[in-house]
Structure 1
Amino acid sequence: MEKESKHKDSSEATPEHKEQEPIAPEEPEIQRSDCLRKRLDWHSKYVMESNVAYCLLMEEEEPSTLQEAMNSSDASQWMTAMQEEMEALHKNKTWKLVPLPQGRKPIGNKWVYKIKRNNNDQVERYRARLVIKGYAQK
Structure 2
Amino acid sequence: MSGWWLLWDPACDKMVQSASVIFPCFQLMGKSNPGKSKGSLGHILNTAVLWKVPTERYFEEENGAIEMLPLTVNLAIPEHLGQALSGRFWEEWKAACMCELDKMLEKNVWEAVTKTKDMTTIGNQWVFDIKHQVNGNVKKFKACFVARGDH
TM-score, scaled to structure 2: 0.49
Determine which of 121, 124, 136 is the counterpart of 1:109: 124
Q: Which residue of 2 aligns with 1:41?
A: none
Larger radius of gyration: 1
CA RMSD of aligned residues (A): 1.5
String of CA shifts for 1:73-93, please: whole Å, max 9, x gaps. 000000000000000000011
Q: Which residue of 1 aligns with 2:92?
A: 77
SS state at 2:122 partner: coil
| 2:78 is equivalent to residue 63 of structure 1 | yes
Higher helix proportion: 1
Consecutive unaligned residues in structure 2, runs of 5 or more:
1-72
Consecutive unaligned residues in structure 1, runs of 5 or more:
1-57
Looking at structure 2, the residues matched to 126 and 87 of structure 1 have their Cα atoms a distance apart, in angstroms, of 15
Q: Which amino acid letter does the alignment assign opposite residue 100 of structure 2?
A: E
Q: Which amino acid letter does the alignment assign opposite residue 80 of structure 2?
A: T
| 2:92 is equivalent to residue 92 of structure 1 | no
User: CA 1:117–1:60 in 2, change beyond 3 Å: closer, same or farther?
Assistant: same
**Paired residue total:** 79
Q: Which amino acid letter does the alignment assign opposite residue 71 of structure 1?
A: S
String of CA shifts for 1:46-72, please: whole Å, max 9, x gaps. xxxxxxxxxxxx951100111110111
Shift of the alpha carbon at 1:102?
2.0
Q: Indicate the larger mover: 79-88 or 95-104.
A: 95-104
TM-score, scaled to structure 1: 0.54
Q: Indicate the larger mover: 92-101 or 58-67.
A: 58-67
Query: Percent of aligned positions with the same letter in both sequences?
Result: 25
